Amino acid sequence: MGMPEPSDAAPVIELARRQQQRLSAWLLNEAYPLWSTAGIDAQRGAFVEALDQHGVSPGIPCRARVPARQIYAFALAPALGWRGPAASLVERGLQCLITDYRRPDGLFRTLVAADGTVLDNSVTLYDQAFVLLAFAATQRLMAGDPRWEDAAQALLAAVQRELRRAGLGFDSGLPDRSPLQSNPHMHLFEACLAWARVSVQSAWRSVANEIAALALDRFVDPQSGCIHERFAADWLRAPEDVARIIEPGHQFEWGWLLLSWAKETWSSDRRAEAVRAAFRLIEIGESAGVQDGVVVDALSDDLSLHDRGARLWPQTERLKAAALAARITGRNAHWLAAVSAAQALERYLTTRLPGLWRDRMTPTGAFQVGPAPAGNFYHIVAAILAFTEALQPDPAPPGFGS
């Protein structure tokens, strides 16, 4: 796929629309057809961990987050225009997810072999968040079926029972509860926001509001405005060197989520604070995290470059954040950032076999040779959905601005 270049003569909204149409065409005509066949174990109906660059599963163990993310991606497929058998793929994938990964305590284990054999019975908060997100997307697809809200409520209760901290937030997992991390809270926030849009149960809004407050009070550095990754037990920054790492992709992702939370009518009185914090995070991502047109993997906490490599997923988070910021403000700068992010994403999607992707760009700008991780499909689908929604004609919520 080639990349149109911005020009003064072309209205930026038209550039964005054309770029969105290109990504959507790739998704509907190449990616969904490939991953709905080669990306699924034909015998079991389970989603696979990866496909090599010939479109063949290497038969490697599968992390719980991967089938959960694939369920999400296929549950959203009809809304994005795919006419394939999304409902049956989702239903069968859910059955495998529950059979293979759900433990007797109601939480979901980390890792199973390709044949479903348990390899790692430990638990991470990160994985529970993605299972909740999968259930929410399924509820959106299969409205009126009570099974998935019941399953989500049971999982949320297990998370509250087993991972809730005596103080703020949640432990990172079982048996390893530390260090405390912002990233799994971010995905739990995402899942709760998704559930709040399809359920009247107050628990989803309550947890979302709690995580938003935790982000604003503890995760965001009051001096720089950055989101930090790892914390000590008191939610102060962890002392080790890795705590100094800032991930530009997460600045964009938190910015998108805080804006999404703030525009909900049920949000708390911290709405204006969340909007300010979100736009600052997006600004940090754009000004320090984008190098030569791509989002790099890591900065130091003084916002200097730490790792010039560039994985696929941060490009999608930039696109989501820029698209929503453009939708809210109407500013050309955000639309141009969305176009730039979409063009960067296309570079990763240009493969010999259509419908695959490359995961890692090296510091020299070359791509590493390796399988296409199935978990990236969630990022890509969510970004294309956010881009598509931003270009819809409905008016943006009032009262927003950068």
CA-wise closest residue to 71 among 13, 11, 124, 131? 131
Gap between the Cα atoms of 210 and 214, Å rounded:
6
pLDDT attached to residue 397: 46
**Tens-digit pLDDT profile for residues 302-322:** 999 999 999 999 999 999 999
Residue 354 burial (CB count, 10 A): 15
pLDDT attached to residue 5: 46
pTM: 0.95
pLDDT attached to residue 149: 96
Residue 6 has pLDDT above 60, yes or no: no
Average pLDDT over residues 97-115: 98
Strand 118-120 relative to strand 111-112, pairing: antiparallel
In this structure, are residues 227 and 250 in contact, taking their beta carbons and an 8 Å threshold? Answer: yes
DSSP helix/strand/coil, 72: helix
Beta bridge partners of 352: none
pLDDT attached to residue 241: 63
Gap between the Cα atoms of 232 and 293, Å rounded:
35
As its CATH architecture, domain 12-390 has Alpha/alpha barrel (1.50)
pLDDT attached to residue 199: 95
Percent of the chain with pLDDT over 70: 94
Name the burial class of residue 272, with classes exposed (0-12), middle (13-18) and buried (19+) by CB atoms within 10 angstroms of its CB. exposed
pLDDT attached to residue 401: 43
DSSP letters spanning 121-188 = --EEHHHHHHHHHHHHHHHHHTTT-THHHHHHHHHHHHHHHHHB-SSSSB-SEES---SEEHHHHHHH
Gap between the Cα atoms of 131 and 133, Å rounded:
5
In this structure, are residues 386 and 319 in contact, taking their beta carbons and an 8 Å threshold? Answer: yes
**Tens-digit pLDDT profile for residues 114-170:** 999 999 999 999 999 999 999 999 999 998 789 999 999 999 999 999 999 998 999
DSSP helix/strand/coil, 293: coil
pLDDT attached to residue 28: 98
pLDDT attached to residue 372: 98
Confidence class for position 267, pLDDT limits 50, 70, 90: low
Gap between the Cα atoms of 380 and 31, Å rounded:
10
In this structure, are residues 35 and 355 in contact, taking their beta carbons and an 8 Å threshold? Answer: yes
Q: What is the dihedral of CA 321, 327, 330, 333, to 10 degrees?
A: 20
Retrieve residue 108's tokens: 């979901």
**Tens-digit pLDDT profile for residues 313-371:** 999 999 999 999 999 999 999 999 999 999 999 999 999 999 999 999 999 999 999 99
Q: Which of 143-152, 244-253, 260-269, 332-341 has the lowest mean pLDDT?
A: 260-269
- Location of structure tokens 């695959």: 356
Confidence class for position 1, pLDDT limits 50, 70, 90: very low
Average pLDDT over residues 80-91: 98
Average pLDDT over residues 189-195: 98
Retrieve residue 80's tokens: 């994005």
In this structure, are residues 344 and 294 in contact, taking their beta carbons and an 8 Å threshold? Answer: yes
Tell me the domain boundaries of the chain: 12-390
DSSP helix/strand/coil, 267: coil
- Location of structure tokens 């696109």: 319
Confidence class for position 402, pLDDT limits 50, 70, 90: very low
Gap between the Cα atoms of 268 and 209, Å rounded:
7
Confidence class for position 399, pLDDT limits 50, 70, 90: very low
Retrieve residue 365's tokens: 């700008």
